[in-house]
Structure 1
């Protein structure tokens, strides 16, 4: 009786490269104990990343190098999942917080913390109160008190924001290294995140400004938070009326071109004309990059599976499984780096001026300012 290994037709990896049947790994080649340990490690490493930000990932995605795991559309190419899995322990060491210090944290790691939305205070998604309040205050200052922005001394930063990133109109009023440029660049980056999530130019630029410059986001105390909640509610109600009025004045096509991109991004609201704007909560989120998929993580494989069996598509060259190697990098209990607490000199404006602007600003002021800056 012939006991030799039977011949097989070539197997193919997810990118259709032929691979030898003798150099294959599938979920079946991982013991149940190892699968459980790796699944637990994957869950621990992904903890903190918003579930709607990247497609839900499973151990099978990692083991088979599925397109779902190999390409995250909302993440720049050099900090894809393999980077994240390899360096997750260091991110936790830094309490998932971007640090300005180049000695403590590399620019690449800082970028990853921003792009994976691990810090509630340092990201571009309109969800956490701290993000919404900074957006609100930045807009209020730009709209009615632009002279209150702090100017940087010449040696504090060499990075400038220009509208070249958007439409080639040049520097913004000569404020390239000041608090005004920082605020404007951040707002432009938030727009990019929500409206053009696979374009990273503005966000990459902002992260460099944040990393190498003096500026930091506002951190509001309890009394200031109370004021901001009240003022956001007031402006939100005004905004509802203004958006309806502008839509009627402009017509649907012009409204969508000039105003629609701000709704649910820089100002509270939904883009569906049948739903009234609202402030706060998950209802505001309009950007679900990658989707929030259910199932076994096989999304995106249907096309590759045509003409081949499911088992063939689950076969992956052992030497090529860089994701599984990255996943195996352990998470260890480590001393947590003390997080920097920014001083008042790093704010883009005095807190008193920011709060006063929030109290005085009107919805129409904000809308006209956004239309002027970002159209």
Structure 2
């Protein structure tokens, strides 16, 4: 009998907590019946939701806590007030102590990152964790990181992101040697900040067998799917993500308005309804929900806070995939376990400079 994937859920995380987390987990369970859940939070609220989902209840254990991290809490406040007692901390702690394979939370991003980093620590050679997510493109999906875990980063940090993103892409897309591009303001070698140009030189010089560096990618190249992995520091990555999400919502609204303007346009919509449904599904942000916190000694997935149950289910799906296919081992292999790949990057960086 195959080993089950154990997922720890911060049931109080997000804008509405258990009323989205529990039904979202129930949806994911139908897709991955070999899952067990640990739900941390207010047991009365959780049990009331579980009563509506008997299959999930049978596959779950509830751990009560009165403390929940607020969406507006500062990371330092969350660490002081919620350390060791909040639903967010306990979900992460379950991963640390081997009680769960992955933790999923829709809670405060800054608090989740601070708690995960403090509790799980970073892998050898990794200075700062990153948020990586799947980005729908014209050629399929790409992994994009960092989407806002930290701001800025030197060439060594960008190389680390490339290694970890490649590991995630190989797990998700079953690609032996994913293509990697660096997000930049142009494709010419002389363009961009110094650290981006240095990272490009390092990736070319290292010629790693586990990834195929293809050069700079401009902002429009993400949606074109020019690389399996797009690497950038968190400030630019978060702006790119929010701009793409906003554009998707804008296009959806513009299309809806255009289709309802006249009886001819409404007729055209009815005739092309199947095509519009395909477009709507492709642009649905729910289906791209779930950012993986890479670089930690454990798996943590961040869901959007204002997501629906269906959207949260996709974040749980991401956690399942990362645990089932052993992303952490893959990343360790990419880093040669003792950080030697990044050590060689550091040596190459010193030689370049």
TM-score bracket relative to the smaller structure: under 0.3
Larger Rg: 1
Higher relative contact order (CA 8 A, sep 6+): 1
Tell me the TM-score normalised to structure 2 length: 0.27
Tell me the TM-score normalised to structure 1 length: 0.26
Higher relative strand content: 2
